[in-house]
Structure 1
């Protein structure tokens, strides 16, 4: 399993347009990027690949990394930085299967799968595959499971991807607070690589209108507001899940420059070969 981090940033990316903060300036100086979230997973044995989320930066990411176009894709939720890149399939693909959860979101009255069908009705190359959460489905030779996470007010899903032949496993937390349901944690557990949402360091919770939540025993917030984990929360989740290796994604430019490019924060273009 070859994993390429196409997009490791939050909704504005790093560097952020129009921002001259120290972190964005350092990114420009060193040629580092955190574009909007997307992960490419390749099954070398089969010569097939799977895309997790359609970033609005799709075109740039694929030109930059020179990875194969995906044979199938998963959409985790309908926020624009994970969803709106679907328009890039126009005149690029002959066809592509897109897997998305089939449960109806009370907030929107639609499932993620239904949102794709209705919002991208004009793209006849997309074959939407409504998928029940917590039930593995075979995609590109991998066993792929959508797991509910906590990203209010919308339903959102993490993803577990396992190679049934080698036993290698990639877990993606999805956009989530630290309050990942126990059943989802069981599915995500014991990955060779965990990609965990760690949007900001915990000390920045003082600047959020509602602060932080899910404090640890030392009072350190593991959730920034309600929707995303802090760096400390993501690392706590990694420990809970017994992850062999962890990289933090969905990273905001609000990290102080002295912390913004330190391990375990990921940047675009990182590649991992899972055993």
Structure 2
């Protein structure tokens, strides 16, 4: 399995428009963060979790020339706004794109991308096959790959993370139930959100995320959905336990 971080930034990305803080002015490429997304290559299949506003730029940068399925964690724009760009995969692969999400999320996509789902479609619009995730307790198959949903809360909004084999990806969470913690436990690689140092109403802070990863004790933990308020990459990493690193755009992790 190869895991590629397509984006590691919060909803505004880093640098933030109009901001001149040390992080936003940093020349370190790791401090340039597009909106969160991850690509998983496993079992000969290519899967992306979340297609935010930077989706086109991300898949071009990482040369993701083939895509078998798209999964969504929830319906917020920084996770869904790039779905239109699956058109290129439709044209190249000559098939509808399987899109997996909870029914609430699919309903939101149908409102925001009404032209995709219209009875009479404009020529060239994206073609999708929507597949609702109806049970957050049972695994499901994505193009032959087993995926386990992980329930969490984003303030009061129920969202899903995903576990594929020994890899778990969970972003935009501020609460994980004991049951979901046990579904994650045993993962060798975990990617978890950590917005900033201070507490936040809908995201884990850095101390909260570190505590969770310390409890779960993966071989490697990576922090994502990072804002400019967290600090510069190299300085924050110097404070972390050895098994926890900050994710950055373009990071690749091999898991055999």
TM-score by length of 2: 0.85
RMSD: 1.8
Task: State the match for 1:212 in structure 2.
Answer: none
SS in structure 1 at match of 2:154? coil
Task: State the match for 1:151 in structure 2.
Answer: 154
SS in structure 2 at match of 1:73? strand
Q: Distance in 2 between matches of 1:85 and 1:250?
A: 17
1:57 aligns with one of 54, 58, 67 = 54
Q: Give the gaps of 5 or more residues in structure 1.
A: 103-110, 163-168, 206-223
Q: How far 1:121 moved relative to its partner?
A: 3.3
2:164 aligns with one of 148, 161, 164 = 161
Q: Distance in 2 between matches of 1:175 and 1:31?
A: 23
Task: State the match for 2:111 in structure 1.
Answer: 118
SS in structure 2 at match of 1:149? strand
Distance 1:38 1:150, change over 3 A: same
1:198 aligns with one of 173, 194, 197 = 194
Q: How far 1:153 moved relative to its partner?
A: 3.4
Task: State the match for 2:29 in structure 1.
Answer: 31
SS in structure 2 at match of 1:229? coil
The answer to whether structure 1 residue 135 and structure 2 residue 138 are counterparts is: yes
Task: State the match for 2:184 in structure 1.
Answer: 188
Q: Distance in 1 between matches of 2:201 and 2:153?
A: 8
Q: How far 1:22 moved relative to its partner?
A: 0.5
Q: Distance in 1 between matches of 2:81 and 2:156?
A: 18
Q: Give the gaps of 5 or more residues in structure 2.
A: 117-125
Q: How far 1:89 moved relative to its partner?
A: 1.9
Distance 1:240 1:2, change over 3 A: same
SS in structure 2 at match of 1:89? helix
Q: How does 1:1-275 map to 2 (within 5 A)?
A: 1-26=1-26, 29-32=27-30, 33-43=32-42, 45-46=43-44, 48-93=45-90, 94-102=95-103, 111-123=104-116, 125-131=127-133, 132-162=135-165, 169-177=166-174, 179-201=175-197, 205=198, 224-257=199-232, 259-260=235-236, 262=238, 264-275=245-256
User: How many pairs are equivalent?
Assistant: 235
Contact 2:151 2:158 in 1 (8 A): yes
Q: How far 1:239 moved relative to its partner?
A: 2.1
SS in structure 2 at match of 1:238? helix
Q: Which stretch of the first structure deviates more once superposed, 231-240 or 5-14?
A: 231-240
List per-residue Cα deviations over 1:40-69 (Å, max 9, x = no partner): 0002x42x2110001110111111111233
Q: How far 1:260 moved relative to its partner?
A: 4.7
Contact 1:116 1:128 in 2 (8 A): no
Q: Distance in 2 between matches of 1:121 and 1:112?
A: 14
Q: Which stretch of the first structure deviates more once superposed, 138-147 or 6-15?
A: 138-147
Q: Distance in 2 between matches of 1:268 and 1:91?
A: 22
